[in-house]
Chain A
Amino acid sequence: MQELPLEGIRVLDFCQMWAGPHATEWLSVMGAEVIKVETSLRIDYMRTVGAPPGLAGTGPNVGSAFASLNWGKKSISLNMTKPKAQALAKKLIKICDVVSENFGGGVLERWGLSYEEMKRIKPDIIYYAGSGYGRSGPHKERPAYAEIVDAFTGATFSNGYPGGEPNVIGVSPWTDGAQAIHGAVSILTALYHRMNTGEGQYIDAAMIEGNANFLGEMVMGYIINGNIGERIGNRDAIMAPHGCYPCKMTGDEDEWIALAVANQKEWESLCRLMGNPDWTKQEEFNDELKRWDNQEALDKYLTGWTRQYGAYELTAILQKAGIAATPSLSTKQFTHDKHIKTRGFFKKPNHPVLGNKVLAGLPIKFSDYAEGNYHTPPLLGEHNEYVFGELLGLSKEEIRQLTEEKVLE
C-alpha cells in the first residue's frame, strides 16, 4: 500500500531551527507537501550544524542536523523582504492548507501576512505560530531555546544526580521535541476539525505550556503539597534497585546497564541470578522499603556483579528472568543495535553532500500505510522551479527574472 494519511495537504513552512521544523517534519513524513520558505541571506542555522569532517562552513547544504529535521520537504529561496516575494507568498498561501512559523514576534505581520490577511486570501487556512513563551503576555518577545525554557519551567532544577547540582537537560532539544510534537498534534487536530466543518484556525503554541504538561507530576506535587521536588537521578520513588550500573567493556566504548526491580519476586529472581551471595541476605535488603532506604549500599554491591558482564549479555539474562533492563546506549551503540536495525528506524537520505549516511526516521509505524515520505531533505532553493513553475504557473523566463531581481535568493 503506497499512500500516506496526509496526502493532498500542503504546508507553507517558515519554521527554522529545531522545534518548528520537526513539527512540520511530522506532517511531511505522513505525506503532506511541506514547502519550506528560506533565503540564502539568512539561512536556517541548522543548515550549518553537524557538517561532515572538513565541510564545516562550506555552504548551506552540509548540516546533518538540518537534514534530520527536514525529511521529505521542498525548499524555495524567497527573500521575503522584497514586495514581489511577499506577493508570491500570498499566491502560495492560496493553494496551501497550513502556514507555519516559529519566528520571535510578528515577522510575518511585517511582511504583510497577518492571520487576518491570510484568512482573506484563504478563508480556511490553519496558521501555526510556535514560540517559547506564547504570542501574548509580558514575555512574548523574549528569545527562547530549549535550555532556556527548561530553566524557566523547573525542568533543569530537577535534573541531576542525587545530592548534586542542577544540570542542563540532555539531549538539549528535549523540550524542542515536546514542542514539535505538541505542535504536530495541534495542527493535525485543526486539520481534523477542518475536514468536519471547513473551518480553519489560529494555533498559538508556547513551549512553556507544553513543558508544564510534561512536568505535570511535579507541578501537581507543588500545587497539592508545596513540594518543589528534588534531584533523584536514575532512582525511582519506590523501586530499588533502580538505576544505571557499569558493565564489562566488550567493544570500544564504556558499557552500562539500566535495570529496575519492581517487587519482591523480581528481587528474589535477581538474587538467584547472582548466585544468592551473602550480602543479599543482610537484613537491610530484605524487603522493598529497606532496599529503598539502603539503595546506596545496595548499588555498590550490585555494581560488583554487573561489572562481570557485557551490557547486552546481562540485559538478556535479566529480561529472561522477568526483570526490566536495557543497555544504556550511546548514539553509536544505538546506531549499530540489532533490534533497531530490524525495526528499520534509520533511513538513507541519498543526499548530494551527506551521501547515504543514515539519519533517524520518525517513530511512526502504520500497518496499512507506506512507511513514510523519506525523500532527500531539500537543498536550499532546490524546488524553486517546481513550486513557482508547476504550482504557480510562472514561465522559466519569469523565474529567471525573479532570480535576477534577487526575489529568489
Chain B
Amino acid sequence: MNRQALSDVKVLEFSDFISGPYCGKLLSNMGAQVIKVEKPGLGDKARSWGPFPQNLPHPEKSGLFLFLNTNKSGITLNLETAAGLKIFKELLQWADVLIEDHSVKEMAELGLSYAEVKKIKPSLVMTSITPFGQTGPFKNYKGNDLISAHAGTEGFGNPDEGVKDPATLPPLKVPNHAADFMAGLTATACTLGALLGHKKTGRGQHIDLSKQEAVASITRQQLAYYSVMEETPSREFGRKKFGGFLYPCKDGYVVIWIGPHYHLVVKMMGEPDWSKEEMFANPLLRNNYIVELNQLITVWTMEHTTEEINALARTHGVPCSLVRSVKDLVSDEQLAFRDFWREIDHPVAGKIKYPGAPFKLSVTPAAIERPAPLLGEHNEMVFCNILNYSREQLVRMRQGGII
C-alpha cells in the first residue's frame, strides 16, 4: 500500500459541481477517505455537464465529473427525508471534515448550521463554501462561476491589456470555471490549516469560505494599486505595464515577457535601431511608452512564424510561449517526461487519460487510481459496513426514496 499523507483523514463531501468536489479531490489525491453524498436520481450536477463521448449524455460518462471525483466513494442520500437526515448525522460522527456548499439558509433549514453540527461532533472541521460568505448583507445572495468572477473584480481585470472600446465590451469572465476551481483550491488550503490545528489540539473549526473573496484575493496586486495610488482604475487598452503581452505573428500568437528582459528581447529581434531610442532607455520610460513599444515589437513578430519566434526566444533566454490550444498541452513533451497523466479504467466510461496531481511530493506522492464512483456505488459499503444497517434496511431505504 502506498504511504499517503492524509490516509487517517475522513471527509464527508456534501457539495455539487466544481468547488467542493475539487477540494475533496485534492484531499483524496493525498489519501483522505472521501465519501461523496449525492442526491438520488440525477446526482451531482457535473454528471449532467459533460463533456460526453460522441456528445451522447450519460450520467457515468461526464468528463468533468469523472475528473473531479477520482478516488472517492459515492453514496446517494435524500436529506429531505427524516431518515436521510439522521443517516447524514451518523456520517458526521464518522467524519473528520465536512465540505459543503449549500446556502446559509438551506443548512439552517436542514438543522445543519455549524452550531448544530458542532453539537453532533465538536471536533469536526466544517468547510462551508458559499458565493459571498456566511456573514454580511449579501450572505444569502445566489451565485455561480460568472457571479464569483465579477464580484471578485476578476471580470474587471480581464482581458489584462484592457479593451479598445470599454463602453461596449463588458468586463470578461475567465474561462473554464476558473473561479469555481479557485474557490475549491482555497477551501482546501483552509481545511488543511484547520486539520493541522486539529491534529495538535483536537479542536473543531468552521471555515467560512467566500468565493468572492477567494477570487478577489488573487487580484491583490491590483487592489493594492488602487489603494496606494488612488487612481480610478481603468479598462482602457494600454493599462497593462511591465510585460506579458500577446503579439500576433504570421501564423498565430505568441506571449513575450519584456519587464527586466528588455535587452534580451531586443537582442532576439536583431537590435533594431528604434530599440536605442531615448524613450525606451529605462524601465520607467518603457512603461510610459508601452503601447508604442508593443507596436514596434508587433511589426517584427508579424514577419515571423510562432515557431521561429519560440526557437529564437529559447536561444536568447526570453520568457515566451506560443498561444497553444489544449491539444498541444495533452501531447506536450514536458508533461510526458514528468509522467503527469494518469490512465484510469472506469466500469462504464472505460480507459481514459486524466490530469495528474498539481504538485509532486517525494515521500507521499498523490495516488490518482480509483475511478469516480458510479451513482450510489458505495451505498452498501457505507450504510452496511460503516454504519451497520442491514441489507433489509438498505432495501427499505431504497424503496422509501431515502437513498
Contacts and interface: CB of A to CB of B under 8 A. Distances in A.
B185 A178 contact: yes
A185 B166 CA distance: 37
Contacts of A69: 220-221
B213 interface: yes
A192 B192 contact: yes
Interface in A298-357: 315, 319, 322-332, 334-335, 338-340, 342-343, 345-346, 354, 357
A212 B182 contact: no
A264 interface: no
Interface in A3-32: 5-6, 18, 26, 30
A360 B224 contact: yes
A299 B318 CA distance: 43
Contacts of A256: 150, 155, 170-171
Given A219-B329, A252-B232, A209 B357 contact: yes
A112 interface: no
A402 interface: no
Contacts of A158: 175-176, 326
A181 interface: yes
B222 A331 contact: yes
Contacts of A280: none
Interface stretch (A87-95, A136-144, A389-397): A136-144
Contact of A363 (B205, B213, B223, B362): B213
Contact of A324 (B144, B221, B243, B329): B144
Nearest to B30: A189
Contact of B142 (A184, A254, A323, A339): A323
A148 B244 contact: yes
A53 interface: yes
The contact size tier of chain A is 35 or more
B150 to A, nearest CB: 4
Interface in A208-254: 208-210, 212-229, 231-234, 236-237, 242-246, 252-254
Contacts of A53: 229-230
Contact of A188 (B140, B176, B189): B189
Contacts of A265: none
B323 A157 contact: yes
A61 B297 CA distance: 33
B95 interface: no
* Interface band, chain B: 35 or more
Interface string B143-178: 110110111111111111100001101111111111
Contacts of B5: 189-190, 192-193, 196
Interface centre among A193, A205, A322, by most B CB within 10 Å? A193
Contact of B324 (A157, A170, A338): A157
Given A172-B244, A186-B359, A362-B217, A153 B329 contact: yes
Contacts of A195: 196, 199-200
A188 B155 contact: no
Interface stretch (B35-43, B251-259, B378-386, B390-398): B251-259
The 3 A-B residue pairs with the shortest CB-CB distance, nearest first, are A220-B63, A147-B244, A170-B160
Contacts of B176: 155, 158, 214-215, 217-218, 229
A386 interface: no
B317 interface: yes
Nearest to B208: A365
A365 B211 CA distance: 12
B156 A329 contact: yes
Interface string A167-190: 111111110111001111110111
Given A45-B260, A324-B142, A330-B153, 6 more contacts: A138-B334, A168-B246, A174-B178, A213-B358, A244-B171, A319-B140
